[in-house]
Amino acid sequence: MPRRKALIIGINYFGSSHQLNGCVNDAKNIRNFLVQDRGFSPAPHDMVFLTDEAPNQGTPFFPTGANIMAALHWLATGNSPGDSVWLSYSGHGGQVKDPDGDRESGLDDTICPVDFESQGQIDSDTLHKVIVSPMIKGARLTVLFDCCHSGSAIELPYVYRPNSQGEVNLIDNVKQGVNLATGAMNLLRGGFSAAKIQDAKVLLGGAKSFFAGLQHRPVGDVNEDGLGEENFIEPWKHEGKDVWMFSGCADHQTSADTTIAGAATGAMSHVFLQTMRENPNQSYIQVLQNTRVSLAKKYQQIPQLSVGGLYDLDQQVNF
């Protein structure tokens, strides 16, 4: 029988000058979602939960660099075809100099363990080698990273690119689409007239065109599914691993640590869980689009979707 297996990491960096507030809550919310909505078992042999809460200090569940690497090794090995494997990380993300010279920015993405100031960050090349490369073919790995500079954090070879720049610069356009729809509704409040109805049709038509434009389409160096190659120097694209990653922002962006309904949380984690709960039967591209639209109402970060192969993005999310 296929197994579900999860590693959930949340780091607030308590008591440090770079303390965050919502990452441990993100981890707890994700654990609840996986158990309650997706059928994962919270048993220790199926789910490993790393946070920097005080009771975890001195245990394997405190998210030091060494403990994270050991947990990643556990997650990526011992799997069988048909298994569903989950990895999520909420914490600080950074960037270090790219030693390979294959990134246009000259930088590799990183994650920051709780002891990163003394023991260093974990870079994207290392993350790929420890979590993606060892995955057995036939097992699916789903990744959610809610941290800054996370677009290429595990160096998956293909990324969804709906425009020729290889990224989605839709913040103003999303706000414009939302404003057009809202404007149409406001216009019709207080009574109808032929002139008002015509103006509202124009506004709604503009909004409809905008939201239709969110659908992926072939542009430039992308295939018919909107997937473009990341051109890493390593032969990652030949591994053919079944890996799907939602990340909170593009490589050059930051992710928001915020408060929603009185509780500290990461904006991406909150919106992703909300999107999945509202409709569990969405495709990968629909989940991406819906999280982008929701986040764009208040934040500038643009979630990304990257994959381990040239896969159909219209297939239903499955983990």
Residue appearing with tokens 């473009």:
228
Do 5 and 80 contact (CB within 8 A), yes or no?
A: no
Tell me how far apart the alpha carbons of residues 201 and 179 are, in angstroms, rounded to a whole number: 14
Q: Is 147 an active-site residue? A: no
Nearest alpha carbon to residue 171 among 295, 256, 15: 295
Q: Is 112 an active-site residue? A: no
Tell me how far apart the alpha carbons of residues 200 and 126 are, in angstroms, rounded to a whole number: 53
Residues 92, 149, 216, 270: which is the catalytic one? 92
Residues 112, 147, 148, 249: which is the catalytic one? 148
Residue appearing with tokens 């404003």:
179
Active-site residue set: 92, 148
